[in-house]
């Protein structure tokens, strides 16, 4: 017999996008919820991740467009960055959104406990409240949503002044003349584009063959790499970073590359070599909760190996993205209030806020071919899209990976203006199993960027309107 919802107690550890969404949704379903958070509500995403970085990418984009004012028939004599103003804008946006989350939680009567929690046993969280005070929270269900932290690679010199991880890179008191980024993944490339727009000379040091090696369509990663190199970002690939040293006027990054030793001088060095699940000191080993490496192991309903203990978000691995954590928050809320929903991450969009942006969903061409699918790839260049011309953003492409016979869309990958917004149509197409023909017969407004998606779909039958193909 399922328990009556009003008697069901749920304790959630971690108030990031996974944990706070789970709390809101459990409360909406009528159960009582306690949310334990040791820092700020909103977690990495709102405080030191998605939101502050996107304030910076937005201002960086505006700045670089303002500097191109003449192209748009505008006279903008001096477009420059006001760093204190930029930092204030970032902090205000974060504060407003964090306050909004707190209001929502209070409105749904979620009890917020400020403290550091650990699992004492299934059904019991131990919370250190500070000042030697503790609270034990008993609950029928416990949801672990502790998120992730920046990985610390085995490189000497990580603690030198001027060496920062992503949280440190968000604080900019002075634009460094030379900015080096260790790791050309999502976070590294977003910061590379931010600092480049602010005026730094940027060097990216990536171990793999291209930037954005994980989960991004290879042709798109290659195109972005060439574009950014043309814009002056010095991207070095196949690089093994050994150490960082202090010099009389800054820092020196010692590396080994395909052509031998390479030394990069910098004033600020960002270490962006991935994220680790934040699973230390949570009581997991003591409770014998199964892990998959450092991650918390869960089944497809997000249940852990212990009864009544669930886990979501970055801590369980897969795409380490806020929207993936949020959907898992909704799934777990449904499952612990009597439902039985399984995780379906086929259509989680991957979004990268570089300039231009990158986004993708579903299978890449190489994934699909490796899985034995007979695929046909159809693409359309943004240079042939009217709105891209109007925006002065002509670089980029939309690629649809379709099943060769049926035309079913298996994946959508794009580089270009507003790609992170445009990918929503791709997510729907992949999730709903839409075909290229169905997309092609969906009328898209003119002149808009989504027309690039329409034209790519038309291209499946060689029928693109605004591009000549033989």
Return the residue of 11, 36, 189, 239 that touches ligand FAD, per CB under 6 A: 36
Specify whether the CB–CB gap between 255 and 181 falls below 8 A.
no
Asked whether position 407 contacts ligand FAD by CB under 6 A, the answer is: no
Asked whether position 53 contacts ligand FAD by CB under 6 A, the answer is: yes
Site track 166-195 with ligand FAD (rule: CB under 6 A), x = hit? x--------------------x--------
Q: In whole angstroms, how close is the CB of 190 to ligand FAD at the nearest point?
A: 7
Asked whether position 320 contacts ligand FAD by CB under 6 A, the answer is: yes
Alpha carbon of 361 to those of 225, 246, 303, 365: distances in Å? 20, 42, 26, 11
Of the pair 48, 375, the CB lying nearest ligand FAD is at: 48
Specify whether the CB–CB gap between 141 and 10 falls below 8 A.
yes
Of the pair 32, 166, the CB lying nearest ligand FAD is at: 166
Residues 6+ apart with CB under 8 A from 41: 15, 20, 35, 98, 101, 102, 105, 112
Asked whether position 325 contacts ligand FAD by CB under 6 A, the answer is: yes
Of the pair 123, 147, the CB lying nearest ligand FAD is at: 147
State the catalytic residue, choosing from 345, 413, 446, 466.
Answer: 446
Binding region for ligand FAD (CB under 6 A) out of 103-111, 139-147, 245-253, 430-438? 139-147
Asked whether position 114 contacts ligand FAD by CB under 6 A, the answer is: no
Return the residue of 197, 289, 322, 347 that touches ligand FAD, per CB under 6 A: 322
Return the residue of 278, 335, 379, 388 that touches ligand FAD, per CB under 6 A: 278
Return the residue of 37, 206, 217, 395 that touches ligand FAD, per CB under 6 A: 37
Clarify whether 345 is annotated catalytic. Answer: no
Binding region for ligand FAD (CB under 6 A) out of 43-51, 213-221, 429-437, 457-465? 43-51
Asked whether position 349 contacts ligand FAD by CB under 6 A, the answer is: no
Specify whether the CB–CB gap between 170 and 52 falls below 8 A.
yes
Asked whether position 323 contacts ligand FAD by CB under 6 A, the answer is: yes
Specify whether the CB–CB gap between 270 and 182 falls below 8 A.
yes
Of the pair 54, 201, the CB lying nearest ligand FAD is at: 54
Of the pair 36, 309, the CB lying nearest ligand FAD is at: 36
Size of the site for ligand FAD (CB under 6 A): 39
Asked whether position 203 contacts ligand FAD by CB under 6 A, the answer is: no
Return the residue of 93, 116, 442, 448 that touches ligand FAD, per CB under 6 A: 116
Of the pair 238, 283, the CB lying nearest ligand FAD is at: 283
* Residues with catalytic roles: 446
Q: Which residues bind ligand FAD (CB under 6 A)?
A: 13-19, 36-39, 43-45, 49-50, 53-54, 116-118, 145-148, 166, 187, 278, 282, 313-315, 320-323, 325, 351, 353
């Amino acid at each position: 017999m399922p328990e009556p919802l009003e008697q069901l107690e749920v304790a959630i550890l971690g108030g990031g996008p996974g944990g706070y969404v789970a709390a809101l949704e459990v409360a909406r379903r009528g159960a009582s919820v306690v949310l334990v958070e040791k820092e700020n509500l909103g977690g990495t995403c709102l405080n030191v991740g998605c939101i502050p970085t996107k304030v910076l990418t937005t201002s960086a984009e505006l700045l670089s467009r303002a500097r191109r004012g003449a192209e748009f028939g505008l006279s903008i004599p001096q477009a420059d960055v006001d760093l204190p103003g930029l930092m204030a804008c970032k902090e205000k946006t974060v504060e407003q959104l964090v306050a909004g989350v707190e209001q929502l939680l209070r409105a749904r009567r979620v009890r917020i406990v400020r403290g550091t929690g650990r699992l004492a046993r299934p059904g019991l969280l131990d919370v250190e409240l500070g000042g030697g005070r503790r609270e034990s929270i008993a609950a029928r269900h416990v949801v672990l949503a502790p998120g992730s932290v920046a990985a610390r690679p085995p490189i000497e010199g990580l603690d030198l002044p001027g060496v920062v991880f992503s949280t440190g890179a968000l604080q900019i008191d002075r634009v460094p003349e030379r900015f080096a980024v260790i790791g050309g993944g999502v976070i590294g490339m977003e910061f590379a584009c931010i600092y480049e727009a602010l005026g730094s000379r940027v060097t990216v040091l990536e171990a793999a063959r291209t930037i954005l090696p994980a989960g991004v369509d290879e042709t798109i990663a290659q195109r972005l790499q060439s574009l950014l190199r043309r814009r002056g970002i010095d991207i070095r690939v196949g690089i093994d970073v050994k150490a960082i040293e202090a010099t009389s006027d800054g820092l020196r990054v010692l590396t080994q590359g395909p052509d031998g030793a390479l030394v990069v001088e910098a004033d600020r060095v960002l270490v962006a070599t991935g994220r680790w699940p934040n699973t230390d000191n949570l009581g997991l080993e003591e409770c014998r909760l199964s892990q998959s490496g450092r991650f918390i192991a869960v089944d497809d309903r997000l249940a852990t190996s212990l009864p009544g203990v669930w886990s979501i978000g970055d801590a369980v691995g897969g795409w380490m993205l806020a929207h993936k954590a949020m959907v898992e928050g909704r799934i777990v809320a449904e499952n612990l209030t009597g439902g039985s929903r399984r995780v379906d991450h086929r259509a989680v969009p991957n979004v990268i806020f570089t300039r231009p942006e990158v986004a993708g969903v579903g299978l890449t061409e190489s994934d699909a071919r490796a899985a034995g699918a007979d695929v046909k790839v159809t693409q359309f260049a943004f240079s042939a899209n009217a709105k891209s011309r109007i925006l002065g953003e002509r670089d980029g492409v939309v690629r649809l990976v379709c099943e060769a016979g049926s035309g079913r869309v298996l994946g959508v990958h794009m580089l270009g203006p507003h790609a992170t917004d445009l990918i929503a149509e791709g997510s729907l197409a992949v999730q709903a199993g839409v075909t290229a023909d169905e997309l092609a017969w969906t009328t898209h407004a003119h002149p808009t960027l989504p027309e690039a998606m329409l034209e790519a779909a038309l291209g499946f039958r060689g029928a693109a309107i605004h591009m000549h193909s033989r």
